Structure 1
Amino acid sequence: MRAPIETDRLLLRPLTSADEPALAAILGDAETMLWYPHPLTRDEVGEWIERQLGRYENGSGLLGLVEKRTGELIGDCGAVWQDVEGVAELEIGYHVKRQLWNRGFATEAAKATIDDAFRRIGAGTVISMIRPGNGASRRVAEKNGLTLDRVVFWHDYQHCVYRLSKKRNEDE
């Protein structure tokens, strides 16, 4: 089972089926999911959680993002293996409840996830796949030291590939 990750304000812990209602409110929100093909239905959120449970077996997967102060599930964040142009890449992904945007939660969670990927998983590099128009997610990546590597056509859309290597991260 995946170990939780803690920051000052957040607990990143494995998702469970009990998280489905709260996560459905986030991943089913049209504005939150603007850069995805569509907001997720309740059934799709259940499948999303099941995929993460399977990923936990190899040490990856999106974790539930819980605000410590309130105990509320406010999103997800984690490292997920993706095939990008035939290469396995460890992607840092995140979703935060729209009502809590611009409070630094995504940046804080992604930073902790990056550190965990380098330390626990032993990754040499991490990436974030972000649609070009998604300025908020691009800023999260940049705040955490990722830089634009290239633009690829991935899952039917153009995506900016932001990258951070462990060596660079340790030098900062």
Structure 2
Amino acid sequence: MDHFSTDRLTAERLREDHLADLVALHHDAEVSRYLGGVRTPEVTKAYLATNMAHWDQHGFGLWTVRAKDGAFAGRAGIRHILVDDVDEIEIAYAFKREFWGQGFASEIATALTDIGLLQLALPSLIGIVYIGNAASRRVLEKSNYLLERSTNRHGNDVVIYRIRR
């Protein structure tokens, strides 16, 4: 599952040569506002290495996402994550600002959910959203995720949404 496509996006497995695009994405303060803050290039490089290792260990992970014209749009994926000492599998997505408000997050969330539940046959998926991120909450709700609970993650108040197979 190194590649997949939606109506308007293509996704490919994360690779080392995606570092420059990720650095630019993570350096945008508006994009990173709900991702834990702006990341230095060094932190993004470590993030890339961790997520490439996730692929090697689990056979799925993060993809870079491009518009059909080839322009880098963001990143999205399915990954293991520890939440309140429980190993969960989350969907995650982040898009460059010029791709906001056009339904791309909903499009990728639907694709990730189908991949996770149907192709990978995972029992459930979660989405972790900062309390104030109304747009991302709407994306998950439109993708039929149900609000499960609130918690605190790395000092931030977040909500956990879940969908089951």
Shorter chain as denominator, the TM-score bin is: over 0.9
TM-score, scaled relative to structure 1: 0.90
String of CA shifts for 1:131-165, please: whole Å, max 9, x gaps: 10011111111111112100012222221001111
TM-score, scaled relative to structure 2: 0.93
Aligned length: 164
Helix, strand or coil for the counterpart of 2:140? Answer: helix
Deviation at 1:91, TM superposition (A): 0.5
Written as runs of structure 1 = structure 2, the 5 A alignment for 1:75-86 is 75-86=74-85
Aligned to 1:3: 2
Q: Which amino acid aligns with 2:66?
A: V
Give yes or no for contact 1:24–1:45 (8 Å, CA) kept in 2: yes
Aligned to 1:103: 102
* 2:12 corresponds to 1:13: yes
Aligned to 2:66: 66
Structure 2, unpaired ranges of 5+? none
Query: Aligned partners of 2:2 and 2:60: how far apart in 1?
Result: 11
Q: Which amino acid aligns with 2:86?
A: V
Give yes or no for contact 1:12–1:109 (8 Å, CA) kept in 2: no
Query: Aligned partners of 1:153 and 1:37: how far apart in 2?
Result: 13
Structure 1, unpaired ranges of 5+? 167-172
Q: Which amino acid aligns with 1:8?
A: D
String of CA shifts for 1:70-127, please: whole Å, max 9, x gaps: 1122100111111122221110100000111011111111111110011232211110
**Runs of 4 or more above 2 Å deviation:** none
Query: Aligned partners of 1:119 and 1:37: how far apart in 2?
Result: 30
Give yes or no for contact 1:26–1:98 (8 Å, CA) kept in 2: no
